[in-house]
Amino acid sequence: SIKVQRRKLDKSRAHFKEAVQHLPLGVSSNFRFWGEDETVFVKHGKGARLWDLDGNEYIDYRLGYGPAILGHCHPEVDAAAREGQSVGTVFALGTEKEVTVAKLIKEMMPAADLVRFSNSGTEAVMAALRLARGYTGKDNYVTFEGSYHGLFDATMWTADPEDMKDQSKDPKVIPYGQGIPQLVRNLFYQVPYNDAQRLEDVLKKHHDSIAAVLIEPILGNCCGIPSKPEFIKAVRALCTKYNVIMIVDEVKTGFRVGRGGAQALYGIEADIFTVAKAVANGYPISAIGGKEEIMRKYGKGVAHGGTYTAQAMSLAAAEKTLTILRDTDALEVIANYGKAMQEGMHKVLTKRGIPHSFTGHHSMSGLFFSAEAPTTYRNWKLSDYTFYDTMAGYLIDMGVMCEPDSREPWFISSAHDQKCLDETLQKFEEAVDLTLDE
Ligand code: PMP
């Protein structure tokens, strides 16, 4: 939680008092509730910045958990979205732009023989898992500790941090809260990240009942722990060896860590992959892509659809966003900014003798206060992140909107410029000193 509050939040606090009478916790996602006095409400965003109800200005390193890759209110994307929706929104029939955007995804992403659209990351991963099950005729699947794949019952499970003290045994796997049936636990195996041997142990024994291995190439909801290249390559090889579908969840990494997502970065090809956040700069759309034979199962018995799939506004925004990402140096600008930010932070922390490391990719990286970066959920969860939490509280208070609890990485957009960088590093230095003084 954010302990230090020096900026004025009177209007956000007053709004919270009203909001909580109409919305549980006063918000539309549990993660947006930061406490009764600390929950921030946004007035508007522009480029790399956002403003809250009290007029406080922030450099935004959350970008709605990643989508606003070109910055908030991008004029060309917004104009395209307006134009797209001017013909109507949904028709329960297909439109021409589906093909335009599918072609862009096929051109940019590996392993995309065919594409289907959905609205959110959750929906895309649900659809991918069903497709894998339908194609293989098997029900079970494998996930990795520390991953997040969306809000549905099949994936809302995590290794219990309370049960990690004894490193000689695997922690219990528990649901992310109530309302998730225990029966679902019988359908999946959860193994430690970056440990191909443990995956092979499971696949060797149980591959006859396992449809898919579901993997985030970079754990984007666990401070950005990246796959070791040899690990993700081994996952690919093991899936092939044991005849199991490899689903690569690129909801966060797709069109962010490179034009071809993490698959191109690591030189692997999924059987099925999902993309969402960066596809349309924040307009709701996601896609499932994959190998032709598997994707054709949609015409042979596997259900997929939805009232809002491939609606006109998001498709038009996706066409514009993907074209910009393909044809400009936006992704290079983003990666260079991330690199320069890490170098600046490294200087500040080294000067003060503070051990630290960075995780993830320059476009979505985690800052970790230990000389050695975590490689699994277990060593991240067992580490002391109070320094980060305190520092993040100061930073937000000063107008650098980073993730408050070190769970999510810092996201960069192409709208982050030199002025943002200088301001961020100056405030970072101040926040580190304030944290040291505590
Ligand atoms: N998969 C991954 C890797 C994600 O990061 C997320 C969202 N953080 C999801 C799936 C779910 O996406 P959505 O919130 O759009 O449903």
Q: Read off the pLDDT of residues 114-173 as tens digits, 9 standing for 90 and up.
A: 999 999 999 999 999 999 999 999 999 999 999 999 999 999 999 999 999 888 899 999
Closest residue by CA, ligand 1 atom 10: 149
What is residue 4's predicted lDDT score, i.e. its pLDDT? 54
- Asked if residue 218 has its Cβ within 6 Å of ligand 1, the reply is no
Assign 174 to helix, strand or coil.
Answer: strand
**The residue type at 130:** R
| DSSP assigned state of 409 | P
Domains of the chain: 10-72+329-437 (3.90.1150.10), 75-327 (3.40.640.10)
- Asked if residue 122 has its Cβ within 6 Å of ligand 1, the reply is yes
- Asked if residue 219 has its Cβ within 6 Å of ligand 1, the reply is no
Please tell me the distance between residue 261's alpha carbon and the centre of ligand 1 in angstroms. Answer: 15
Q: Average of pLDDT values for 343-348? A: 98
Give 5's pLDDT tier (boundaries 50, 70, 90).
Answer: low
Please tell me the distance between residue 249's alpha carbon and the centre of ligand 1 in angstroms. Answer: 9
- List of residues 6+ apart from 210 with CB closer than 8 A: 138, 140, 141, 142, 189, 202, 203, 242, 244
Assign 188 to helix, strand or coil.
Answer: strand
Q: Cα–Cα distance between 380 and 359 in angstroms, integer?
A: 11
Please tell me the distance between residue 120's alpha carbon and the centre of ligand 1 in angstroms. Answer: 7
- List of residues 6+ apart from 396 with CB closer than 8 A: 2, 58, 402, 404
**pTM summary value:** 0.97
Cα distances from 308 to residues 105, 118, 311, 319, 369, in angstroms, run: 19, 8, 6, 17, 43
pLDDT digits (tens, 9 = 90+) for 389-425: 999 999 999 999 999 988 789 999 999 999 999 999 9
Atom of ligand 1 nearest to the CA of 284: 15
**69 in Cβ contact with 281 (< 8 Å):** yes
pLDDT digits (tens, 9 = 90+) for 244-288: 999 999 999 999 999 999 999 999 999 999 999 999 999 999 999
Count CB neighbours of 272 within 10 A: 27
**Which two tokens mark 160?**
């219990």
Atom of ligand 1 nearest to the CA of 274: 1
**For a pocket test of ligand 1, which of 117, 251, 363 has the largest count of ligand atoms closer than 8 A to its C-beta?**
251
Assess whether pLDDT exceeds 70 at residue 1: no
What value of ipTM does the predicted structure carry? Answer: 0.99
What is residue 2's predicted lDDT score, i.e. its pLDDT? 47
Core vs surface per residue 106-130: b (16+ CB within 10 A) or e: eebbbbbebbbbbbbbbbbbbbbbb
Q: Cα–Cα distance between 23 and 28 in angstroms, integer?
A: 7
Please tell me the distance between residue 131's alpha carbon and the centre of ligand 1 in angstroms. Answer: 18
Alpha-helix residue ranges (DSSP H) falling in 148-284: 196-206, 229-241, 261-266
**The residue type at 364:** M
pLDDT digits (tens, 9 = 90+) for 162-206: 999 888 899 999 999 999 999 999 999 999 999 999 999 999 999
**Which two tokens mark 162?**
């309370």
- Asked if residue 411 has its Cβ within 6 Å of ligand 1, the reply is no
Assign 68 to helix, strand or coil.
Answer: coil
State phi, psi for 140 to the nearest 5 degrees: -85, 165
Report the range of poorest mean pLDDT among 92-106, 161-175, 295-309.
Answer: 161-175
